[in-house]
């Protein structure tokens, strides 16, 4: 679930409070630049806790204590117990741990067709192993039809998985209502409800207990933490089969030496993002709305998911007659980094599966450009993006018209 900036790193540049991005960076849903506080926490951890957290000696136990402190800090932000946080290498691994760890021939999974590839491709692989996978209907704004869910449950249903907020459109799903519908119709059995909250955590309130979900996926790098670490929050006694074996780390769920310095960066970034969420996201939401107003002045422009509740930082815009891939390249050449959708699908020529699920044609789905703002985004950044995007879209339209004539 990670991505690299499209512009080269320039050691003599000093943008974004010390990062070296020599561009207007508006691809936070792919990955956020590292927060200075997270960077410092990682440097301190590297110096202070060199031991293996599984070692019995003092250095190892000091590292273990630091790791568990990080785990507890992240858990507290979610209203969970420390033991309910399982560290992974990121969101994709966390999704795989749950989906594969609960799989059995004949088991029935209900997922949305809007999910991250780490869910959809894993479900496709599991379908080849006897798991029955069914997809929930969604409306034109990309919101799951909760009313349809009870009719899709069956005695074999063991898992329902719907992401909290979409990585391409920013559309926020009614997770509490969805879970309530599952609980009302599950009978005496317990159906596990999972939500991938990678894009939501630190941007909107995320409350696993209030939503009554059993499992939640998190990733550090979306909110200004380091790449290479995420978590699967498992409430209660849920214990999927481990997918990485060879050690008893992480409650016997994930073998391998834990990284204390990555955990320190994750905890620091999560605390800052949550502490400043209301102020920071209020500012970002204002920038997003102003950006959308500027873009909508161009004829043939549409904002995907505009009728739904969305993350404050995400715009998915389609401009009629302008392919997203061409527009993203044109913006990159002008020093503005945006994307066509999921970073894990970069390089794919297929239209967005999210926009297709929302009912767009293949042609229209190829026009979706994602612009995502974050902690270092300024009004100048979004104003520049709007001006350059409109100018490049007009240029590309004119070029396409000449080519067609």
Q: What is the pLDDT along the chain (405 residues), one digit of tens a residue?
A: 444 433 333 333 344 554 556 899 999 999 999 999 999 999 999 999 999 999 999 999 999 999 999 999 999 999 999 999 999 999 999 999 999 999 999 999 999 999 999 999 999 999 999 999 999 999 999 999 999 999 999 999 999 999 999 999 999 999 999 999 999 999 999 999 999 999 999 999 999 999 999 999 999 999 999 999 999 999 999 999 999 999 999 999 999 999 999 999 999 999 999 999 999 999 999 999 999 999 999 999 999 999 999 999 999 999 999 999 999 999 999 999 999 975 555 555 689 999 999 999 999 999 999 999 999 999 999 999 999 999 999 999 999 888 887
- Is 344 a residue of the active site? yes
Neighbouring-strand partners of residue 352: none
Domain regions of the chain by residue span:
16-30+278-404, 37-274
List Cβ<8 Å contacts ≥24 apart for 350-353: 352/168, 353/113, 353/114, 353/120
Q: How far apart are CA 328 and CA 368, in angstroms?
A: 10
> Beta-carbon neighbour count of residue 131 at 10 Å?
24
Q: Write down the catalytic residue from 23, 70, 123, 344.
A: 344
What secondary structure letter does DSSP report for 358? Answer: T
Report the candidate in 291, 296, 344, 345 with the shortest Cα–Cα distance to residue 318: 296
Helix (H) or strand (E) holding 384: helix 379-404
> What is the structure's pLDDT at 350?
83
Helix, strand or coil, per DSSP, at residue 228: coil
The helix (run of H) or strand (run of E) holding residue 372 is strand 368-372
Q: Burial code of 179-203, b = ≥16 C-beta within 10 A, e = fewer?
A: bebbeeeeeeeebbbbbbbbbbbbb
Q: Report the distance separating Cα 367 and Cα 396, nearest Å.
A: 12
Which of these CATH numbers, 1.10.1750.10, 3.90.1150.10, 3.40.50.2300, 3.40.50.150, describes 16-30+278-404?
A: 3.90.1150.10
Q: Rounded distance, CA 38 to CA 281, Å?
A: 19
Q: Are 326 and 396 in contact (CB under 8 A)?
A: yes
pLDDT at 1: 46
Domain 37-274 adopts which CATH fold?
Answer: 3.40.640
The answer to whether 16-30+278-404 and 37-274 have equal CATH topology is: no
- Do strands 230-234 and 85-88 pair parallel, antiparallel, or not at all (unpaired)? antiparallel
């Amino acid at each position: 679930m990670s991505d690299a900036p499209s512009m080269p790193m320039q050691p003599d540049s000093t943008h974004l409070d010390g990062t070296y991005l020599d561009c207007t960076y508006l691809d936070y849903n792919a990955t956020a630049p590292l927060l200075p506080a997270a960077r410092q926490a990682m440097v301190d951890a590297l110096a202070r806790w060199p031991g293996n957290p599984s070692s019995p000696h003092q250095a190892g136990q000091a590292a273990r204590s630091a790791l568990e402190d990080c785990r507890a800090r992240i858990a507290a932000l979610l209203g969970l117990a420390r033991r309910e946080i399982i560290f992974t290498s990121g969101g994709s691994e966390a999704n795989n741990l749950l989906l594969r760890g609960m799989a059995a021939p004949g088991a029935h999974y209900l997922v949305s067709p809007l999910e991250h590839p780490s869910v959809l491709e894993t479900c496709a692989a599991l379908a080849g192993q006897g798991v029955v996978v069914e997809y929930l209907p969604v409306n034109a704004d990309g919101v799951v039809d909760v009313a349809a869910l009870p009719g899709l449950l069956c005695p074999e249903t063991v898992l329902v998985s719907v992401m909290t907020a979409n990585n391409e459109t920013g559309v926020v799903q009614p997770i509490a209502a969805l879970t309530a519908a599952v609980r009302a119709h599950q009978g005496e059995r317990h159906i596990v409800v999972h939500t991938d909250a990678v894009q939501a955590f630190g941007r909107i309130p995320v409350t696993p207990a209030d939503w009554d979900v059993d499992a939640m996926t998190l990733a550090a790098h979306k909110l200004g933490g380091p790449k290479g670490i995420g978590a699967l929050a498992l409430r209660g006694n849920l214990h999927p089969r481990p997918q990485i074996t060879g050690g008893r780390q992480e409650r016997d769920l994930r073998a391998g030496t834990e990284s204390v310095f990555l955990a320190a960066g994750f905890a620091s970034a999560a605390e800052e993002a949550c502490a400043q969420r209301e102020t920071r996201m209020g500012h970002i939401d204002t920038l997003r709305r102003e950006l959308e107003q500027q873009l909508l002045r161009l004829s043939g422009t549409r904002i995907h998911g505009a009728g739904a509740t969305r993350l404050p930082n995400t715009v998915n815009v389609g401009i009629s007659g302008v392919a997203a891939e061409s527009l993203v390249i044109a913006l990159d050449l002008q020093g503005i980094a945006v994307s066509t959708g999921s970073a894990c699908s970069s390089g794919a020529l297929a239209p967005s599966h999210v926009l297709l699920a929302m009912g767009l044609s293949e042609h229209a789905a190829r026009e979706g450009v994602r612009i995502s703002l974050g902690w270092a985004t300024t009004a100048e950044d979004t104003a520049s993006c709007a001006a350059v995007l409109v100018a490049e879209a007009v240029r590309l339209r004119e070029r396409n018209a000449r080519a067609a004539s």
